[in-house]
A and B are shown apart, each in its own frame.
Chain A
Amino acid sequence: QKEVEQNSGPLSVPEGAIASLNCTYSDRGSQSFFWYRQYSGKSPELIMFIYSNGDKEDGRFTAQLNKASQYVSLLIRDSQPSDSATYLCALSTNAGGTSYGKLTFGQGTILTVHP
Chain B
Amino acid sequence: GAGVSQTPSNKVTEKGKYVELRCDPISGHTALYWYRQSLGQGPEFLIYFQGTGAADDSGLPNDRFFAVRPEGSVSTLKIQRTERGDSAVYLCASSLSGGEETQYFGPGTRLLVL
CB distance from A98 to the nearest CB of B (A): 8
Contact B105 A101 (CB under 8 A): no
Q: Check A43–B105 contact: CB distance below 8 A.
A: yes
CB distance from A25 to the nearest CB of B (A): 12
Against A, the Cβ 8 Å flags (1 = close, 0 = not) of B48-62 are: 101000011000000
Total residue contacts A-B, CB cutoff 8 A: 64
B96 to chain A, nearest CB (A): 10
A66 is an interface residue with CB less than 8 A from chain B = no
B1 within 8 A of A: no
B71 at interface, CB cutoff 8 A: no
- 8 A Cβ contacts from A1-46 to B: 4, 8, 31-32, 42-46
Known pairs A49-B100, A105-B42, A108-B42 / 4 extra A-B pairs, C-beta < 8 Å: A32-B100, A46-B103, A99-B99, A100-B56
